Amino acid sequence: MDSAALQKYLLRLFERHDVELQPDEDGWLVTDDDFPAIRAQWHAGAAGAPGRLDVDVVLSEERRIEESFAGHGEGGAGCRDALAAFEHNLFHLLLAACWYVTDDRKMQITGWDTGVRTWDVFIGPFTVRGADPLDLPMPAAALESIETALKRESLTPELHWLRLVHVHGSHGELRCEASLDNEPWTAGTLALDAVAWPASPVEYRARCCVMLDVRDY
């Protein structure tokens, strides 16, 4: 799928949620000629490997959200698979945190108090690939552990975003990754490592996105 087709797809996706964006010639969709702006680019996989959908959201001159989603399948099917993962995993969080359109059926909405500030927190579902998610309930302790770790951070009073990943290998090997504002977050990775993740005879990968915005009073 080329940039023009992706731009049209995103434009219609936002329109279905009553958000009107304006396309520009570089593939971006902008908000009233300003930020936030969003763009997606598809990179087809080679020799049967999955492709990659890159999604960029520019919040300001200095800050942007960068996420990628694997797409399995040949041709356009791979891109559609990645777009489905984006919509399920991240899109509704972006709507809530960046465009203030909230659907509590698509995410968990809560508040975290770090002692200095209170945050509105938008938590996406854990997306499981490689195994049936119904057979692998994700542990509630994962987000509890992340909340505890985040309370030790000195967060600036602005929007922040987390990516949480757990990989269960085919031979039982485990790997966790956490990032905060696009950067590797060691404390978050250690928090995920301390959680008891569900065992599985097959390899699987679980991913969750979280966005936090400082609460206005």
Same domain, 86 and 140: no
Number of domains the chain contains: 2
Residue 11 and residue 86 in one domain: yes
21, 84: one domain = yes
Query: What share of the chain in percent tops pLDDT 90?
Result: 77
Q: Tell whether the model's pLDDT for residue 217 goes beyond 70.
A: no
Q: What is the pLDDT of residues 68-93, one digit of tens each?
A: 999 988 878 999 999 999 999 999 99
Task: Work out the mean pLDDT of the chain and round it to a whole number.
Answer: 93
Residues 120 and 39 in one domain: no
In a domain, residue 103? The reply is no
Q: Any idea which of 10-14, 16-20, 45-49, 67-71 has the lowest mean pLDDT?
A: 45-49
Overall average pLDDT of the 165-171 stretch: 88
Supply the range of the domain harboring residue 58.
Answer: 3-98
User: d(Cα 143, Cα 164) in Å, to the nearest integer?
Assistant: 9
Q: Is residue 14 part of a domain?
A: yes
Same domain, residue pair 91 and 123:
no
The tokens of 57 are what? Answer: 């959201």
